[in-house]
Structure 1
Amino acid sequence: MDLGLAGRRALVTGAGKGIGRGTVKALHAAGVQVVALSRTRADLDSLVVECPGVEPVCVDLGDWDATERALGSVGPVDLLVNNAAVALLQPFLEVTKEACDTSFDVNLRAVIQVSQIVARGLIARGAPGAIVNISSQASQRAITNHSVYCSTKGAMDMLTRVMALELGPHKIRVNAVNPTVVMTPMAQANWSDPQKAKAMLDRIPLGRFAEVENVVDVILFLLSDRSSMTTGSTVPVDGGFLAT
């Protein structure tokens, strides 16, 4: 199915690895001009080799001022994927200030900042747009040792709804995608224990974790005009986890 994305310009955060990298590659293949943002220069360098024409931006989204400078001259953006995230797992009684600050800075505050920059540009141009926030099944279910991560993703789901409410009159749609565990390097590090993985898999009716392309397909649909009446939604890609 041709989603009609060719000729548009997209910004993808957390573009160096996992879902973000997969999204950049799929958008590039669909004829989209992509601005790829990552804090890791080596990841961006290899991505540009894989996808010639991709515009790399290297910045740590945890740094508000640096992000403002990096995106100040990025130019017009039609589509935004807020994918960058950190998962700092600690038992609740051992949660540190540093884990809270870093998690909320990257997983939530940066989403607000980057979305403001893109939305202001769209409104100034009088152009429609689409924003997809990468949330998690952890926004709606409690998971041991994920208190801070679950909190940031729960906040992201509500942020998505408020953004949809306020930006809808400007023809900017905002949706969230809520995957289960996706087989990315970050997930492999956090779910490598077979006993821990089994406990999660036993709660997923389809009995497996997601692959990157499962999530990317939904992201592209939500960015496209095929979903032109969808905004303020949280879309599970979870094998049925949230149904149980």
Structure 2
Amino acid sequence: MSFDKGLFTNKTILVAGAGKGIGLACAVMAAKYGANVIAVARTQADLDKLISLYPENINGWAMDVSSETFFQRVKDLPILHGLVNNAGINRVGPMQGQSSENIDAVIDLNIRTLYKISQAAITPMLNADGAAIVNMSSQMGFVGSPNRTLYCMSKHAVEGVTKAMAVELAEHNIRVNTVAPTFVLTPMTAPMFEDEDFKKFVFDMIPLGRLGKVEDIANSCTFLLSDLASMITGTSIKVDGGWTAR
């Protein structure tokens, strides 16, 4: 099963946080279906590997997505049809032990930076005949979980601001939605599942009994970015195997 090969022909899509994992999968899938992809990551080596897969379709920006320089570069784009706000961090630990540094780091990247990127993207999106923003949320944007107060706080904020953005930007035919994954097996999360107690907790919470794959998330992002979802805005696709249905 796949989308039409020309789904994103003549469309420019920017993926923030494209170096690894979900962001990488989103950038690859957008290029696969014909988009001109702007892939943004801190590490040039990650971008080089990505570009080698679709050298004619992917342009890499090795930048800090939270920098004013990056925001201005996005704003200066001539046109933009799609944006995936995938950059984010987590600081796992008991609430009593969370430092001010951790609190500020999560708020800055997961909320402030997402807002600033979206704000900058509006200008080039106004030159497109319709555009779409996909904010990367989480199942933790709908529930609570032990040792994840900061992450839950930030992703609940993402869900809220997405609704407000969708309502405000609708007059410009800019749609805004979220994708909310469960735990996805990536090089970053793999060490977490070496803890048998944590692994059991996660699998017991997912009715489908398996972790997500990066392609599962990229499929949902691709759909929401495309004209197939032209009447969908202000909502979320939960790719959580049923976690939040309990």
TM-score, scaled to structure 2: 0.93
CA contact (8 A) 2:75 2:123 kept: no
Deviation digits for residues 171-190 of structure 1, max 9, x if unmatched? Answer: 00000000000112222244
Q: Which runs of 5+ in 1 are unaligned?
A: none
* C-alpha RMSD of the superposition: 1.5
CA contact (8 A) 2:81 2:128 kept: no
Secondary structure (helix, strand or coil) at the match of 1:185 reads coil
Aligned-residue offset at 1:118: 1.1
Alignment of 1:22-171 (within 5 A): 22-53=25-56, 54-63=58-67, 65-123=68-126, 125=127, 127-171=129-173
Q: Which residue is equivalent to 2:236? A: 234
Residue among 186, 193, 207 paired with 1:205: 207
Tell me, yes or no, if structure 1 residue 18 matches structure 2 residue 21.
Answer: yes
Give percent identity, aligned residues only.
36
Secondary structure (helix, strand or coil) at the match of 1:132 reads strand
Q: Letter of the aligned partner of 1:234 in structure 2?
A: S
Instruction: Give the Cα separation in 2 of the matches to 1:75 and 1:184.
Output: 34
Secondary structure (helix, strand or coil) at the match of 2:189 reads helix
CA contact (8 A) 1:77 1:122 kept: yes
Secondary structure (helix, strand or coil) at the match of 1:24 reads helix
Deviation beyond 4 Å, 4+ runs, structure 1? none
Aligned-residue offset at 1:67: 2.4
Deviation digits for residues 59-111 of structure 1, max 9, x if unmatched? Answer: 22233x23234435444211000011111212100111111111111111111
Q: Letter of the aligned partner of 2:44 in structure 1?
A: R
Tell me the matched-pair count. 242
Secondary structure (helix, strand or coil) at the match of 1:43 reads helix
Aligned-residue offset at 1:126: 5.8
CA contact (8 A) 1:57 1:70 kept: no
Deviation digits for residues 143-194 of structure 1, max 9, x if unmatched? Answer: 1111111111010000110000100111000000000001122222444312
Q: Which runs of 5+ in 2 are unaligned?
A: none
Instruction: Give the Cα separation in 2 of the matches to 1:60 and 1:189.
Output: 26
TM-score, scaled to structure 1: 0.94
Secondary structure (helix, strand or coil) at the match of 1:186 reads coil
